[in-house]
Copies of this chain bind each other. A is one copy, B any other.
Amino acid sequence: MTTHSRRAYEEIRRLILVREIPSDEPISERGLSERLGLGRTPIREALKDLERDGLIEVSPRRGTFVRRLSLADLRDIYEVRMGLEGIAAFLAAARGPTSQLLSFEEKFEKLLDDPSSELLTIQKLGWDFHDAIYEAAGNRELLRLNTGLRNQIGLTMELPRHHDHDRVRATVAEHLKILRAIKAMDPEGAQRAIYQHLSNALSAGAQIFSKFE
């Protein structure tokens, strides 16, 4: 059985990412409690987790707000990703690729050949690829920390359907480069490749971001 807390977490998270809960308006525990038809306790537990994941900020006695990410926050998050995914790629390369990871090679190559493919599909595949790297690292702590980061990034990425066409395509090539380094069991190379990739992604993200401010 899934607990109420868990369901509350999922639902509130969804409401935030879909922007049904605006970032400038306080959300009260009682309001959510009523809205979701649950007591305050599971709501509080969910909010606690969301705060830990960096999705909301609680100001005691003032209110709870959806976190509004600054450009600096975005940079911070990406730097952390470099650290975490860098070591993940390093480890994955050191122990050799999983079969799951290898299965991405063909898909990426197909995407490069076929320029008509859906941007969303590509993007989804990219996320899966990143997760697969974490998996291949064989480190449970790493896996645990990944989740929180993913949610935070979602906070910035859902907002616009501002896909930069060229950028999305470029990522495929970058992913392929990472994958090949892991396949070649070249830890440093894999790490370098993912650093480069995330650095590029941050630049692109920052550009989109600044258009919104």
Contact = CB atoms under 8 A, between A and B. Distances in A.
B45 A80 contact: no
B76 A141 contact: yes
Contacts of A54: 141
A82 interface: yes
A178 interface: no
A52 interface: yes
A3 B60 CA distance: 10
A140 B76 contact: yes
Contacts of A84: 80, 83-84
A9 to B, nearest CB: 12
A141 B87 contact: no
A114 B80 CA distance: 38
Interface of A: 3, 45, 48-49, 52, 54, 60, 73, 75-77, 79-80, 82-84, 86-88, 91, 137, 139-142, 145
